[in-house]
Amino acid sequence: RLATRQPTVTLVKLSTGMGQNDAQWGRYQAGASVLMALLKMPAAWYQLSMLFLSPNVDFRCASPSNESIPTANLSRSSWDDSCSYRDHGGTQHSCDLWQYDTSEFSNTVNMMWNLVCDRELLATWAQFSFMSGVFSGNVIGGVLADRVGRKPVLVVAVLLQPIMSAVVAVVPWFSLFLIFRFVMGLALGGTIVISFLLGGELGAGPWRPVITILNQVPFGMGQTLLALAAYFLRDWRELQMALSVFCLIFLPYCWLVEESPKWLMATGRQKRAERVMDVIRQRNGLPPAADNEMLPMTEKNKVQIVKTDNEKLNNNRGVGFCDLFRTPRLRHYTLAVWLMWYCAGLSFFTMNAYQIQLGGSSFINVGVGGLIGGIPGNIVTIFLVRKFGKKKVIIIAHFFVALFSILIPIYNVGDSPFDWQRRVLGLLTLIAMSVAFPAVFLLSGELIPTVVRGSAMGVANLMARLGNTTAPLVGPLAAISKWLPLCVVSIAPLISALVMFSLPETGDGPLPDTIEDVERTNLRWQETVILSTVEEGSKIYKPKTVIVHQNS
């Protein structure tokens, strides 16, 4: 369409940094997308592991009068969760030794370090230290991903994760338990943000929704596997060590995954991008790209060159976190994305914690919640966003989350056999969440440009983790009213739905690479032309990258 004489033109879309053939789906993109998705499994293992590492178990004060009685001979009423005892003279003493009900768990973190009574708050600190590490890993990993690349951050995180998990399993003191859980969270935060970035940047056009949404499926699989492992491993050290062994399967990522060509192109590293693309072409079974093509620049082409060198792309190397707030549209998108991710984290983990109150075994609740509540909805989302668009799906799914969750307190525990009404509504809530949240994650990555996507998504993950950390504070509200925890689960998605009305539908178009791409308006057509030699009369120009507009 551009050329009128024999010399040909090689076109590369600015948003992909790939040639026409390379934008197609191939073996490498499929394999790497699966690898990125599987990183969600350790995210489920470690974020939900405290449900089994530090569960609430019955206990009683081991006073001199009863410490010799075997716990197996005690009735349910004997576990009074007492923090003091009276001696034979009637004098009350604070308890410094406890007996625990080991009928369900043989050893837990709470049993190990007596995290009961006035030390009960320390169990919350164990989860807080881990989530603080995830917070830090999301932000640091996102910023470093924009500065040094996606792969270096991924390699460090993948290596650090099983090591820290194993160390946590053998530490003798609670203080070290807190410290190494923080470092473990740091590694997990890095893998979470990189899996999101690489997963979104691997796909082009109509494949991107499939990649990003299916990226969430392994979280449900990991949740189910965690419940299964916890059922057979009732000692917290054994379970923690098993999770460390599971993470060893991710070590080959250091060799199997290449750097993101999109990030390389967006930051002006064109030569390295070409080398990576050669590797990807080889894995996809494609021939090497031609590099000796010419574009005749004549008035007849009606092409306006608005950028004649790589200066603008190279300048993107200096783009940083503060640039997220430099322009009005990007600032609005960034704040909206962060708010929606916070609401997603708050409502999702509040609902996951509430599953235990639905009735039944914690192993079954967590396992079924991951298998049924976390997987089908993600798969259905692929077809929904293609037919109706992301915006409509997000708004409607959030409405159903609010509806199903607020209906749960209508039924009391014990009103029906197996509390089936409460359990069905709980599963429907989780299914609606598994439709809404992946669509939010997909839209978020498409609104933010490549040069700052790592930083923005790092903070977005941080906001989700902040919601996760806030969630345990919601459960105790049930002591005031049984409606309050579910009101929070309902209100948070409604806020996200309202925010969604102010954001655009992104469709299957190219991802924005620069801040200018987000702010630019009224440009009907744009592509980047990679020139090997440019002829204009008798003049010969050196290889350049230019952006061309055609108003036709």
pLDDT for 294-309, tens place per residue?
A: 333 333 333 333 333 3
Ramachandran class of 213: left when φ > 0, alpha when ψ lies in -120 to 50, beta otherwise = alpha
> Is residue 3 very low, low, confident or very high in pLDDT (cuts 50, 70, 90)?
very low
* Four-CA torsion 138, 142, 145, 146, nearest 10 degrees: -170
Whether 54 and 143 map to the same domain: the answer is yes
- Kindly give the pairing relationship between strand 92-94 and strand 544-549: unpaired
Whether 148 and 239 map to the same domain: the answer is yes
Range of the domain at 28: 23-61+95-257
- 123 in a domain, yes or no? yes
User: From residue 132, how far is each of 126, 373, 376, 463 by CA, in Å?
Assistant: 10, 27, 31, 11
Task: Enter the tokens of residue 405.
Answer: 């969750």
Query: Does residue 376 register a pLDDT over 90?
Result: no
pLDDT in tens, 409-449: 888 877 777 778 888 888 889 889 988 888 888 888 888 88
Query: Of 323, 311, 319, 306, which is closest to residue 270 (Cα–Cα)?
Result: 311
Whether 250 and 378 map to the same domain: the answer is no
pLDDT in tens, 306-364: 333 344 444 455 566 777 888 888 888 889 999 999 999 889 888 877 877 776 778 88
- Kindly give the pairing relationship between strand 544-549 and strand 304-307: antiparallel
Q: What is the DSSP letter of 288?
A: P
Whether 252 and 331 map to the same domain: the answer is no
Encoded amino acid at 520, one letter = R
Task: Enter the tokens of residue 537.
Answer: 């009369």
pLDDT in tens, 386-404: 888 889 999 999 999 999 9
Do residues 73 and 128 make contact, with C-beta atoms less than 8 angstroms apart? no
Whether 361 and 498 map to the same domain: the answer is yes
End-to-end CA distance of the chain: 11
- 469 in a domain, yes or no? yes
Ramachandran class of 262: left when φ > 0, alpha when ψ lies in -120 to 50, beta otherwise = alpha
Task: Enter the tokens of residue 479.
Answer: 């002591």
Query: Does residue 119 register a pLDDT over 60?
Result: yes
Task: Enter the tokens of residue 368.
Answer: 């079924």
In this structure, how many other beta carbons lie within 10 angstroms of the beta carbon of residue 414?
Answer: 9
Domain boundary among 238, 257, 276: 257
Query: Does residue 273 register a pLDDT over 80?
Result: yes
- Kindly give the pairing relationship between strand 92-94 and strand 98-100: unpaired
Query: Does residue 524 register a pLDDT over 50?
Result: no
Average pLDDT for 369-375? 79
Query: Does residue 539 register a pLDDT over 60?
Result: no
Whether 248 and 331 map to the same domain: the answer is no
Whether 250 and 351 map to the same domain: the answer is no
> Is residue 537 very low, low, confident or very high in pLDDT (cuts 50, 70, 90)?
very low
- Count of domains for the chain: 2
Do residues 41 and 539 make contact, with C-beta atoms less than 8 angstroms apart? no
Do residues 504 and 9 make contact, with C-beta atoms less than 8 angstroms apart? no
pLDDT at 31 (0 to 100): 83
Average pLDDT for 269-293? 75
pLDDT at 292 (0 to 100): 38
Question: At 306, is the secondary structure helix, strand, or coil?
Answer: strand
Q: What is the DSSP letter of 173?
A: S
Alpha-carbon dihedral sign for residues 379, 260, 511, 346: positive
pLDDT at 233 (0 to 100): 94
> Is residue 29 very low, low, confident or very high in pLDDT (cuts 50, 70, 90)?
confident
Task: List CB contacts of 161: < 8 A, sequence separation 6 or more.
Answer: 42, 184, 187, 188, 191, 247, 250
Q: What pTM value is reported for the model?
A: 0.73
- 468 in a domain, yes or no? yes
- 401 in a domain, yes or no? yes
CATH code at 369?
Answer: 1.20.1250.20
- 308 in a domain, yes or no? no
Do residues 371 and 495 make contact, with C-beta atoms less than 8 angstroms apart? no
* Four-CA torsion 440, 441, 443, 448, nearest 10 degrees: 130
The C-alpha atoms of residue 287 and residue 50 are separated, in whole angstroms, by 50
Domain boundary among 257, 291, 307: 257
* Four-CA torsion 109, 114, 120, 125, nearest 10 degrees: -40
Whether 410 and 503 map to the same domain: the answer is yes
Query: Does residue 24 register a pLDDT over 80?
Result: no
- 263 in a domain, yes or no? no
pLDDT at 182 (0 to 100): 94
pLDDT in tens, 35-92: 888 988 998 899 888 888 988 788 878 765 555 555 554 544 555 557 776 666 667 7
Encoded amino acid at 378, one letter = N
Whether 361 and 238 map to the same domain: the answer is no
Half-sphere exposure in the Cβ direction for 28 (13 Å, CA): 24
Domain boundary among 229, 257, 285: 257
Per the DSSP assignment, residues forming a β-bridge with 86 are 92
User: From residue 503, how far is each of 186, 381, 478, 518 by CA, in Å?
Assistant: 31, 19, 35, 13
What is the chain's alpha carbon radius of gyration, rounded to the nearest angstrom?
27
Query: Does residue 372 register a pLDDT over 60?
Result: yes
- 298 in a domain, yes or no? no
Task: List CB contacts of 233: < 8 A, sequence separation 6 or more.
Answer: 239, 242
Question: At 489, is the secondary structure helix, strand, or coil?
Answer: helix
Query: Does residue 484 register a pLDDT over 50?
Result: yes
Whether 244 and 361 map to the same domain: the answer is no
Whether 154 and 239 map to the same domain: the answer is yes
User: From residue 528, how far is each of 142, 306, 318, 445, 541 by CA, in Å?
Assistant: 27, 11, 21, 22, 17
- 544 in a domain, yes or no? no
Whether 356 and 238 map to the same domain: the answer is no
pLDDT at 89 (0 to 100): 65
> Is residue 183 very low, low, confident or very high in pLDDT (cuts 50, 70, 90)?
very high
Mean pLDDT for all residues in the chain: 76
Encoded amino acid at 24, one letter = Q
